[in-house]
Amino acid sequence: MAILKIARMGHPVLRRKAAPVEDPGAPEIRRLVRDMLETMEDAGGTGLAAPQVHVPLRVVVFFVAGRRAELEDGLIEEGAAEDAPAAREFRHDVPLTVLVNPEIEVLTAETALGPEACLSVPGLVGQVPRATRIRYRGLGLEGETIEREAEGFHARVVQHECDHLDGILYPQRMTDLSLLAFTTEAGRFAAEQRAAMPAAPDEAEADAGTEREAEKVQGHG
């Protein structure tokens, strides 16, 4: 296995449409996936797409830790005990997943703004509108079909990663570029704002989400 160099915004490989994979079980695809997983782990990411490591093929890898998904979706409060009833009720880990030739079907017209960062756009975080509920399908390395419905942060991660396969980076999805910020500044100002004035519960959660994402710039691939 090897840690691969991650392409950054401006590199042509991130602007082109990736090619379909003919044989998901081919040795070179298995080797690519192993290297992508090692690279993602080294970078501390939640997901990674093949174009981000300079390979223009339709392959993504990702996982969603249950507790992080709950925090991002606002289902439990940060700092709650792992065995708290809310944590047990809403825990929904998404295991490490390899998707070859993935497709997305949007299941709702509802969209939501949420913070996104990217390994290919280091040091920045932006508020990005995404469909709140999707169905996605693709192939595993054994050729098996993987199909799931996803919502909230899970849906956001999948949409973010699959965008890379069509040459799209998250800033291109933003409708208000004033909401693009350096991660250090986003976290600092969110903390200062909360300290300066009491916020309504929804506003406090939004600020906390921005700060958490700012602290985890590698959150998305």
- Determine whether 82 is an active site residue: no
Instruction: Output the pLDDT for position 177.
Output: 97
At position 67, the amino acid (one-letter code) is: R
Do 117 and 213 form a contact (C-beta atoms < 8 A)?
yes
Asked if the model's pLDDT at residue 200 lies above 90, the reply is no
Band (pLDDT 50/70/90 cuts) for residue 105 is very high
Radius of gyration of the chain (CA): 17
Asked if the model's pLDDT at residue 215 lies above 80, the reply is no
Do 145 and 137 form a contact (C-beta atoms < 8 A)?
yes
**How far apart are alpha carbons 16 and 56 in whole angstroms?**
8
Mean pLDDT of 76-96: 50
pLDDT in tens, 109-144: 999 999 999 999 999 999 999 999 999 999 999 999
CA angle, residues 131, 168, 38, in degrees to nearest 5: 95
Q: Name the catalytic one among 116, 161, 211, 213.
A: 161
pTM over 0.85: no
Please, is 37 exposed, middle or buried when counting C-beta atoms within 10 Å of its C-beta (0-12, 13-18, 19+)? middle
**How far apart are alpha carbons 58 and 103 in whole angstroms?**
10
